[in-house]
Amino acid sequence: MCQEERIKVNDLFIAHPCISNKDIILAKLSKSAMKRVSHFPPMIGVEKVAFLIYQLSTIAIFVTMLFLEFRINQTLPFHAGMTVYIMGLVLLIISTINFSKPSDNGINQNGLYQLSRNPMYVAYFISLAGISLLVQSLTLLRFVFLFQISAHWIILSEERWCIEQFGEEYRFYMNKVRRYI
């Protein structure tokens, strides 16, 4: 009889792909991209509250994952979770590489940025949802949804900032490419 192997989520370096993997890739590709990705534009009104929720939910996700484990087995939740997680991680890596090489005008319009104005946020959600499936944790999934909902408000502030910085060129990009997918 085959014994299932239990693995702590953080043992596989998947504890927080949004921070660990993305930052390692960006640090190697472009110092200016590291600076751009860590820049949060000025926020107004509810965006300030959303930013606080975003930061707290990120911490909650990270701390929760420190205590979770999954079993390598042949169940549907395991395979679904691993598939969704790997898909999100691949999207995160590709969007991070794309982010490091903006167009001459400074707007990211290459690679996945031709399909989504925010492919990194989409990739975060997919990879974190995959981990939630993998470990079968509703608590983690709730934090992931809270993270994604608050991220929407941050994205709105980023878009307002991009319109101020890039003007009509960014408005054209917004009309051509969807916010998410």
Q: Does the residue 57 lie in any domain?
A: yes
Q: Kindly indicate the confidence band of residue 41, based on its pLDDT and cuts at 50, 70 and 90.
A: confident
Range of the domain at 132: 44-69+88-181
What is the rounded CA–CA span in Å between residue 11 and residue 108? 33
Q: Does the residue 132 lie in any domain?
A: yes
Q: Does the residue 153 lie in any domain?
A: yes
Which comes out higher in pLDDT, residue 88 or 12? 88
Summarised one tens digit per residue, pLDDT across range 132-155 is 888 888 999 999 999 999 999 999
Q: Does the residue 33 lie in any domain?
A: no
Q: Does the residue 39 lie in any domain?
A: no
Cα dihedral 142, 148, 151, 152 in deg (nearest 10): -120
- Give yes or no for a contact between 90 and 82, defined as CB atoms under 8 angstroms apart: no
Q: Does the residue 113 lie in any domain?
A: yes
- Judged against a pLDDT cut of 60, whether residue 4 lies above it is answered with no
**Prediction pTM value:** 0.82
Q: Does the residue 28 lie in any domain?
A: no
- Tokens 């400074």: give the residue: 106
Number of domain units in the chain:
1
Summarised one tens digit per residue, pLDDT across range 42-86 is 888 999 999 999 999 989 998 888 888 777 778 888 889 989 999
**Residue 5: enclosing H or E segment and its boundaries?**
strand 5-8
Q: Does the residue 79 lie in any domain?
A: no
Q: How far is CA 24 from CA 9, 31, 74, 93, in A?
A: 19, 11, 32, 10
